[in-house]
Structure 1
Amino acid sequence: METGIIAIVKASTQMTIVDDLGRTVTIRSSERIVSIGPSCTETLYALGLGNRIIGVDRYSDYPPEVIQKRKISNWWNPDPEEVAALNPDVVFYSVGNPTAVEALEKAGLTVVALRPKTINDIFKNIKLVGKITGKIEEAESLVSALSRRIDDIKARVGNTTVKPKVYMETWYPPPWTWGPGSWGHQIIELAGGVNVFGDAKTAYVKTTDEEVIARNPDIIISLTGAMHYASLDDFRKRPGWSVIKAVAEGRVYMLDENLFVRPGPRIVDGLEALARILHPELFGEANVFTFPILSAELSVKMQTFSIPSPMIIDICVIKAATDSTLTVILTKSGPTIPANLRLIGEYVDLRCSVPEGFASILRIHYSEDLLKTVGVREDSLKIYRWSEEEKRWIALNTAVNKEERFVEATIIGGSYFAVMGEPTPTLLEIPIPLWLLIVSVVVVAALTGACVHIAHVRSGKRL
């Protein structure tokens, strides 16, 4: 019997399935659900089952409304009595510790163990959860939508001849990464890259600094979140790592680990983010930047992210509903600029993977030469936000720092943003103050009178 596939339907409210550990499980009801594992929780919510969830593990933090749910204290080794006290009909467990499943089962709990290895396995799990909970159509629709997005990525990168070598770090020290047979390896290949550890003997690779240096990746993806954090500066500080091409060229990208390590619907978000980094030219984007937002850090301070070029931009994140990913795309194309304004630099397409509750300060730097080239008055500079609902640009309350030459504004949520200003007026368009006009008239009249007087004097002398 194939794992993850419905085997026998005994009644309309009862069925028998085989889970990812090969266990035969009889499901009698799914009205009260405990979800142990963030990927299980995200799958359940994606199928519209949030109202049936009565408890989750403490790592489940997406979508934001799950934060209010009752928390199970331990994911790796959940306390059977703690779970049983919630009186669930079924427990979905994203298996970290297989022996924990046996302990939960001995407590009289109905447990469905999910342990996918590939993207196809993830999709099978979504369908299995949908079948168990009576959300068959929703599960089929979700998998179809995710599959179409993957097909779009494959179509874009399918004919590319340049495939960068990628090292994706999930833990340090020592370095851990993905090997063949894992969904992480699949994501790298689907995104149009070559996994530098694609020849490893295991799906999850514990390696060494020396081995990563020897494989010399073109791009490093640093998965960042509760388990791991490493910026470009951190990689530069590691002994010997500065010679790696990705580090030397600054091609180290920090991505939200939850989009890669959680085998649920958002795995395709991770694929799309990676594909845009590896092949921005295929998406009509010249510059794509991604940053992980950590809600724990925001509780004590702002998180600041900087883009050094082609535009110098600082983004100070004030708040976010949960851990999420900030994507910033600098592009020359965007909504049409109003006729009375001129664009400074490029459009800034700023998006948060969890837009609810996201707020930040957007600071965009400019130069005097740029203003002269474009022909814009410095005191007219403002940051504008594109309103998709109203189909127009809206000026934000903008501060202009002329000494350090930047503009900044507080923004809520994401959209297109742009710095615009009014054209520098020509000499004929410059308004003349009244007092200056009067003085000018008097001076001109006096000069005219003087000239006439001199002319009369000279003509008298000739006579």
Structure 2
Amino acid sequence: MIASRLRRPSRGAVLAVLTLVGLSPTSFAADTSAAAGAPSRIVSIGGSVTEIVYALGQQKRLVAVDTTSIHPREASELPNVGYMRQLAAEGVLALDPDLILAIEGSGPPPAVQVLKASAVPFTEVPESHSAEGVLEKITVVGKALGVPARADALKAEVSADFEATAKAVAKAKTKPGVLFLLSVGSGRMLAAGSHSAADAVIDLAGGHNVLASFDGYKPVNAEALVAASPDYIVAMTRPGVDPSDDIRALPGIELTPAGKNDRIVTVDGQTLLGFGPHTAAAIRELARRIGTLTE
């Protein structure tokens, strides 16, 4: 693993990396716009995909996004094709796109099959809950947009961000137990198990998932909450909604270390779980809040 500073690398540092991989600052500067004939009416499906398009400076080529594309804020002002798993093919094609970028897992399958069978180029962006997965997303999006040098520069920056976070978290002397809640309502909890995005970020932040005994996301009751005995409870916020008080009111919460010490951490779920260009920074902030990063 390459040693990196905890701070995000400067533009100069990124350009130095580009030189090492055979790209000059001149090639980076020349890549500020897409090549002639590159797609100019793009529909982006998937929050992390849209974030990457913006990070590559290609947002002016977007004609629509999906409902998970909430970062940056300007993305939500674009026409919307609906939730990524509930797409209507005719609605997407009605926008007259010349490229569709869609995160792996978009659906429903019949709608995606129609989009793939249409005359519009369709690029599926692979989903993987890891630093390597984020870099692969950037590669695929950069290639589809015709801006590979910009993609290489962004990958250098994001890779350094992940490595700096991993290096700092590795110094932690404890590995706190974390319970991740996707939602809390009417006393019902939807929690994250293993092989999930939340499980991956808990590990990357230096914690351990106290509900790793099951896969994916499942409802849990008060008995399971108490038995899990989390040191921290991490929950997703939604626009205008902070679940902290609902969590404090959960039956049995006062019997857990998290409840006794009021260790309830709220996070922006899209940035943290989306595994996009800003996820490393979100993981670093989570690590700071669960006590595994003190620098």
Contact 1:40 1:93 in 2 (8 A): yes
For the residues of structure 2 that align with 1:213 and 1:96, how far apart are their CA atoms?
Answer: 35
- CA change 1:33–1:230 in 2 (3 A) is same
Letter in 2 for 1:196: V
Contact 2:183 2:189 in 1 (8 A): yes
The TM-score with structure 1 as length reference comes to 0.51
For the residues of structure 2 that align with 1:281 and 1:204, how far apart are their CA atoms?
Answer: 27
Aligned residues: 254
For the residues of structure 2 that align with 1:280 and 1:183, how far apart are their CA atoms?
Answer: 19
Give the match for residue 229 of structure 2: 216
Letter in 1 for 2:155: V
1:251 equivalent among 263, 270, 291: 263
> CA offset at residue 74 of structure 1?
4.6
Give the match for residue 31 of structure 1: 40
Give the match for residue 410 of structure 1: none
- CA change 1:155–1:281 in 2 (3 A) is closer
- CA change 1:218–1:74 in 2 (3 A) is closer
Matched, 1:86 2:100: no
Give the match for residue 97 of structure 1: 107
* Paired residues for 1:17-56 under 5 Å: 29-56=38-65
For the residues of structure 2 that align with 1:245 and 1:88, how far apart are their CA atoms?
Answer: 52
For the residues of structure 2 that align with 1:277 and 1:61, how far apart are their CA atoms?
Answer: 24
For the residues of structure 2 that align with 1:154 and 1:139, how far apart are their CA atoms?
Answer: 22
Q: Secondary structure at the match of 1:71?
A: coil
- CA change 1:230–1:178 in 2 (3 A) is same
> CA offset at residue 107 of structure 1?
4.3
Matched, 1:180 2:189: no
Q: Secondary structure at the match of 1:268?
A: helix
Give the match for residue 239 of structure 1: 251
For the residues of structure 2 that align with 1:237 and 1:230, how far apart are their CA atoms?
Answer: 10
> CA offset at residue 226 of structure 1?
4.8
* Paired residues for 1:63-462 under 5 Å: 63-94=72-103, 95-99=105-109, 100-119=111-130, 120-173=132-185, 174-200=188-214, 202-226=215-239, 229-231=242-244, 233-279=245-291, 282-283=294-295
Cα distance per residue 1:370-420 (max 9 Å; x no partner) = xxxxxxxxxxxxxxxxxxxxxxxxxxxxxxxxxxxxxxxxxxxxxxxxxxx
For the residues of structure 1 that align with 2:101 and 2:160, how far apart are their CA atoms?
Answer: 27
> CA offset at residue 227 of structure 1?
11
> CA offset at residue 158 of structure 1?
1.3
For the residues of structure 1 that align with 2:134 and 2:216, how far apart are their CA atoms?
Answer: 16
- CA change 1:89–1:269 in 2 (3 A) is same
Give the match for residue 10 of structure 2: none
Contact 2:87 2:108 in 1 (8 A): no
- CA change 1:281–1:181 in 2 (3 A) is closer
Contact 1:56 1:70 in 2 (8 A): yes
Q: Secondary structure at the match of 2:173?
A: coil
> CA offset at residue 205 of structure 1?
4.1
- CA change 1:74–1:204 in 2 (3 A) is closer
Cα distance per residue 1:174-212 (max 9 Å; x no partner) = 433333333322221221211112343x24344333222
Cα distance per residue 1:417-463 (max 9 Å; x no partner) = xxxxxxxxxxxxxxxxxxxxxxxxxxxxxxxxxxxxxxxxxxxxxxx
* Structure 1 range deviating more: 157-166 or 106-115: 106-115
Contact 2:99 2:120 in 1 (8 A): yes
The TM-score with structure 2 as length reference comes to 0.77
Question: Quick check: which one's strand share is greater?
Answer: 1
Letter in 2 for 1:101: V
Q: Secondary structure at the match of 1:246?
A: helix
For the residues of structure 2 that align with 1:185 and 1:236, how far apart are their CA atoms?
Answer: 22
Q: Which runs of 5+ in 2 are unaligned?
A: 1-36
- CA change 1:190–1:229 in 2 (3 A) is same
Contact 1:117 1:181 in 2 (8 A): no
Contact 1:171 1:227 in 2 (8 A): no
Q: Secondary structure at the match of 2:184?
A: coil
> CA offset at residue 98 of structure 1?
4.5
For the residues of structure 2 that align with 1:203 and 1:58, how far apart are their CA atoms?
Answer: 22
In our comparison, the structure showing a higher alpha carbon Rg is: 1
Cα distance per residue 1:22-41 (max 9 Å; x no partner) = xxxxxx95332111222221
Contact 1:220 1:246 in 2 (8 A): yes
Q: Secondary structure at the match of 1:175?
A: strand
For the residues of structure 2 that align with 1:227 and 1:93, how far apart are their CA atoms?
Answer: 28
For the residues of structure 2 that align with 1:136 and 1:209, how far apart are their CA atoms?
Answer: 50
Q: Secondary structure at the match of 1:127?
A: helix
> CA offset at residue 281 of structure 1?
6.2
